[in-house]
Amino acid sequence: MYQEDKELLKMDAREKILAASQLMERQDWEGALEVIYQGIQADRRNYELYFMLAQCKEMLGAVQQAALSYENALFYASDEDYGMMEECYGAFLASLPEMPKKVSFVLVTYNQLEMTQLCVESVRHNHPRGSYEIVVVDNLSTDGTREWLEEQEDIRALLNDDNRGFPAACNQGAELAAEGNDIFLLNNDTIVMENSVYNLRMALYETDKVGAVGACSNEVGNRQRIEEKFDSIEEYARYAGRNNAYAPDRHERRLRLVGFAMIFRRPVWEMVQGFDERFGVGNYEDDDISMKLLEQGLDLVFCRDSFIFHFGSASFRALDRAKSEEYQSILRKNKQIFEEKWKIRWGYFSHVRHDLLGYIEEERGRAFSVLEIGCASGATLLEIGNRYPGAGLYGIELDRAVADMASHYLDIVQGDIQEKRNPFGRRYDYIVLGDVLEHLRDPEDILRELKDWLNPGGCLVISVPNIMHISVLEPLLHGRFTYRDEGILDRTHLKFFTRTELVEMMGRCGYAIERMGGNTVELSRKEEGYLRKLCEMDAQIPEEELRIYQYRLKVRA
């Protein structure tokens, strides 16, 4: 960034400071916060903004967030203003019945000394002294890690006599952590960036319903990975400098968080009794604890404003993740443990229908209602709520175990739409039917019924598989129409649709199609060959309809 650009950003921050000061004088604390957040986007190191943020949070009774913001203000404060701010923070602390929570960084090590050193140094560099502690549990490293840990005066280390595995070692570390501290489970192959932990802990205390929070990274699954890619840690650090500006509107509710960097309130961690140690060396323990938190009606919050660099699964590299039968065996075993414990198919409970979200078109702040039929655990509904905070979210799910779990954190009930019972007794602006119609005995009867469930001007958002896809036609030409566990020929499908039949059905049921599109999948060489030959034989065959795997449409009654 050029120097003149930096000066412009600082000028914008100063303007926000002035505007927020005026609002604070009028005791408009919420209004001041909105302006302060804008100022932090312009200058993430501006201690005056964090100081004002702390004062607003203090006045609103958000004690932990106020303490975190006072700490951040002091961390960035100039020598000139440090004394004044320290005095104000001291007066704030003196007024409290108990001290604000600190955070315990809990790391598990198994060799990888150099990465551990980078991780620990990043914690030391980016956080005020006295606001944290570092706890490390070592699982019998042989590369000098244990000796190095014993030399560190600011690390509380536990040296296991055997490899206890990741979940058990995390539990040991949390047990060692100072009483009352937040528990930050941090992989040792990470590098904490500026403001990443501040933003995470602010999110942890946004509401009493937050159970755990997680960060974004360059190397992580579960839609927590950033799109940007860089060639060096220094470039990722510069990215973090731009990204890690506290922004509550970039926090999202999720159904699961990856445990590479995950913070819990201590009482919450103790309530769910930490990780289930049946997951052995690791994998699926973070999915499991996510489920335990959801079962308690607590929110999992993903923070896009908190980037932490991740080398990626360093402890599993020795197993050669892509090829190792041992690693694949661990995955299969732990997946089975998870599914037997929760009576839920792993991929089913957290899948978001991103392809359908674009068919919901509203202003962000508008209040409207969405019913999803066949909503599974509500991952798509949660994402709608993230995009449209004013939306009312409702769901009907056939699977009782899934619906019972989802009912803890969303308005989701178990039900069969074929019974034509509107369980919420209201009308909706959108009804989402993602891959539902093909499972119904009489889809036209249900489509007509749903017209009475819609508000005036309401829409259905629908997806159905395309029976005309070349992957079905090619084996059919060889006499095969074989049902499978999933896909177009899912053995639970009762009805099949082509584009023409789908369009005609919507017309018969009194719906006008506003948008229609489709998903495609990569074809095999054989399928491509058959597709070309069919189109050459008959020019009336629409090639696109052989390629579309699944249709999406938005219809209005």
Extents of the domains making up the chain: 3-94, 103-341, 354-556
pLDDT band at 356; cut points 50, 70, 90: very high
Q: 414: helix, coil or strand?
A: strand
Beta partners for residue 299, in sequence order: 210
pLDDT band at 4; cut points 50, 70, 90: very low
Question: What's the average model confidence in pLDDT over 32-39?
Answer: 95
Residue from 115, 170, 164 nearest 140 by CA: 164
Give the pLDDT of residue 163.
94
Based on C-alpha coordinates, what's the Rg of the chain?
A: 27
Show the DSSP H helices in 26-62 as ranges: 29-42, 47-59
CB 381, CB 328: distance < 8 Å: no
pLDDT higher than threshold 50 for residue 490? yes
Question: What's the average model confidence in pLDDT over 238-244?
Answer: 96
Give the pLDDT of residue 2.
42
pLDDT band at 168; cut points 50, 70, 90: very high
Residue from 220, 405, 369, 225 nearest 304 by CA: 225
Query: Quick one: DSSP state of residue 350?
Result: S
Residues making up the chain, counted from first to last: 557
Does the domain at residues 3-94 carry the CATH identifier 3.30.540.10?
no
Matching CATH number, 103-341, of 3.40.50.300, 2.10.240.10, 3.90.550.10, 3.40.50.720 = 3.90.550.10
pLDDT higher than threshold 90 for residue 345? no
pLDDT higher than threshold 80 for residue 217? yes
* CA 27 vs CA 34, 62, 470: distances in Å: 13, 16, 65
Question: What's the average model confidence in pLDDT over 382-388?
Answer: 96
pLDDT band at 176; cut points 50, 70, 90: very high
Separation between Cα atoms, residue 551 and residue 464, nearest integer Å: 5
Give the pLDDT of residue 425.
95
Average pLDDT, the chain: 94
Question: Percent of the chain having pLDDT more than 70?
Answer: 96
Q: pLDDT tens for residues 93-108? A: 999 999 999 999 999 9
Residue from 227, 203, 247, 217 nearest 42 by CA: 247
Lowest mean pLDDT among 179-193, 205-219, 280-294, 308-322: 308-322
Beta partners for residue 251, in sequence order: 303
* Same topology between domain 3-94 and domain 103-341: no
Give the pLDDT of residue 332.
93
* CA 268 vs CA 71, 105, 176, 181, 288: distances in Å: 24, 16, 16, 11, 14
Give the pLDDT of residue 320.
53
Could you tell me the pTM of the whole model? Answer: 0.91
pLDDT band at 5; cut points 50, 70, 90: very low
pLDDT band at 222; cut points 50, 70, 90: confident
pLDDT higher than threshold 70 for residue 313? no
Q: pLDDT tens for residues 319-343? A: 555 457 888 899 999 999 999 999 8
Query: How many of the other CB atoms lie within 10 Å of CB of 243?
Result: 23
Q: 262: helix, coil or strand?
A: strand
> Which residues are CB-neighbours of 161 under 8 A, at least 6 positions away?
140
**Residue 284: burial class (beta carbons within 10 Å; 0-12, 13-18, 19+):** buried
Question: What's the average model confidence in pLDDT over 253-268?
Answer: 96
CB 391, CB 385: distance < 8 Å: yes
Query: Quick one: DSSP state of residue 99?
Result: P
Question: What's the average model confidence in pLDDT over 529-540?
Answer: 93
pLDDT higher than threshold 90 for residue 347? no
Residue from 158, 175, 259, 177 nearest 217 by CA: 259
Question: What's the average model confidence in pLDDT over 472-494?
Answer: 94
pLDDT higher than threshold 90 for residue 514? yes
pLDDT higher than threshold 50 for residue 402? yes
pLDDT higher than threshold 80 for residue 3? no
Question: What's the average model confidence in pLDDT over 547-553?
Answer: 97
> Which residues are CB-neighbours of 178 under 8 A, at least 6 positions away?
102, 104, 133
- Report the CATH fold assignment for 354-556: Rossmann fold (3.40.50)
